[in-house]
Amino acid sequence: MTNAGTSIFSLLCAGNSLGVYVPAIQLNYQLRQQNQLTEIHILENLYKDEIKARVPAIKKAFHDHFDLAKKSAKWVRDAKESLDSEKVKVLLSQWYGEKRTRFIVFTGFWIPVLEQYQKMMEPIEIRVDLLRMDAGISASYQVYKERCNVFRNIWFFSAEENKILREFTVSNQRALPYSSRDQGIVLHGGGWGIGTYREAKEMLLASHHRLTMLAYAFEEIEIHERIAYYMNDPEWSPWSHDEQGNYTFPPLGMIKHGREPIFHNQDCYPLMFDVIRSAKAIVSKPGGYSLFESFAAATPFVFLEPFAEHEVVNAEFWISQGFGIWFKQWEKEHFSDRCIEKLHENLLDARNQISQGGQYNAT
């Protein structure tokens, strides 16, 4: 095949998980800082209208019923059935007209679209990076099996070799000393607010820890002197542009009793990362992007019940590196600060060992 085409970076992600949406927004910013041309595409914008309209209800159902969310991970199938063929045709015509050849992919559900485009472009070769944001094989890639091997798979973690292969840059800021961290324990349920984080809140309060909680909805907020609440703007949607025509991180606001929340945003990384940098630990389900936040901030990860098999691998990998611990094990340690401070020290050592070439370079 020949190599020819425009130099626009097409970043392909989805809004069904902030773990594959947020890194796309970050990489988009980083590439533009290098004067690269970029465009982000959100998978849901190719959905049939009736399927896209059901997504908010599915999100709420998964938030309310964690068992349903876990079962859904076993029901994953080819996304092609959800796509509107006319919307796909319009997008592929745009790419073909511009001779797009460079794609960076954050979810495997884009594979059927890329296969179709590759056939249109022959004999011109398209260069596709499939970013594996988990230590295990996430459902969006598992469903396509060997079809993934047509493209370049970029792994960040190797569970088999038990090592970090490369870093996905969240921020280049230095990690804060453990003694200066004033946000207590950060507690959340990922982008959709799923998992056992609400039960963990009660146990941590009983242990006299101070908490910073990312609430999914106003109904979750129970005023307590040892809980600081944040929340993403409930009006924000991952598949809608802002006034400037850009996709953005979820705007974040601090929730204070009796005050209307004010939501803020920025371009370089999600504001919630500043909270994580100042925390003693993250308590959440083992999402892949949360591993990158843990590493970048040198903030230990305490794992709640996983959502799917690849999250089990994420947790076991992080624990094997000395960066995390299961919540139940931490409970046996009486939620000891010293226990997680040791994990912080391990993260600091590992960050210092990442070489200059150890970061993902899209260019």
Q: In the chain, which ranges are continuous DSSP H helix?
A: 18-33, 49-64, 66-72, 85-98, 111-121, 139-142, 197-206, 272-277, 288-297, 309-320, 327-332, 337-353
Question: Is residue 65 predicted with pLDDT exceeding 60?
Answer: yes
Over residues 167-171, the mean pLDDT reads 94
Over residues 64-86, the mean pLDDT reads 84
For the chain, the structural domain boundaries read 6-164, 178-358
Cα angle 53-309-281, degrees, rounded to a multiple of 5:
90
Question: Is residue 129 predicted with pLDDT exceeding 60?
Answer: yes
Token pair belonging to 312: 């089990």
Q: Please tell me the distance from the alpha carbon of residue 88 to that of residue 73, in angstroms, as a whole number.
A: 25
- 8 Cβ neighbours under 8 A, 6+ residues apart: 37, 38, 39, 98, 100, 102
* Identical fold, 6-164 and 178-358: yes
Question: Is residue 346 predicted with pLDDT exceeding 70?
Answer: yes
Give the E-state strand segments of 285-356 in sequence order: 301-303, 324-326
Q: Please tell me the distance from the alpha carbon of residue 180 to that of residue 44, in angstroms, as a whole number.
A: 41
**Band (4; pLDDT cuts 50, 70, 90):** low
- In 3D, which of 140, 171, 169 has the Cα closest to residue 153? 140
Over residues 11-37, the mean pLDDT reads 96
Looking at CATH, the fold of the domain delimited by 6-164 is given as: Rossmann fold (3.40.50)
Task: Count Cα atoms within 13 angstroms, Cβ side, for 131.
Answer: 24
Superfamily grouping for domain 178-358: Glycogen Phosphorylase B; (3.40.50.2000)
Calculate the alpha carbon distances from 20 to 105, 110, 258 in Å: 9, 12, 34
Q: Please tell me the distance from the alpha carbon of residue 346 to that of residue 128, in angstroms, as a whole number.
A: 34
**Band (1; pLDDT cuts 50, 70, 90):** very low
Q: What are the pLDDT digits (tens) for 227-247?
A: 999 999 999 999 888 888 999
Q: What are the pLDDT digits (tens) for 347-362?
A: 999 998 875 448 899 9
Cα angle 95-100-105, degrees, rounded to a multiple of 5:
95
Q: What are the pLDDT digits (tens) for 174-218?
A: 999 999 998 899 999 987 888 899 999 999 999 989 999 999 988
What residue has token string 């209800």?
A: 57
290, 282 in Cβ contact below 8 A? yes
Q: Please tell me the distance from the alpha carbon of residue 178 to that of residue 299, in angstroms, as a whole number.
A: 9
- Return the minimum-mean-pLDDT range out of 11-15, 64-68, 277-281, 333-337: 64-68
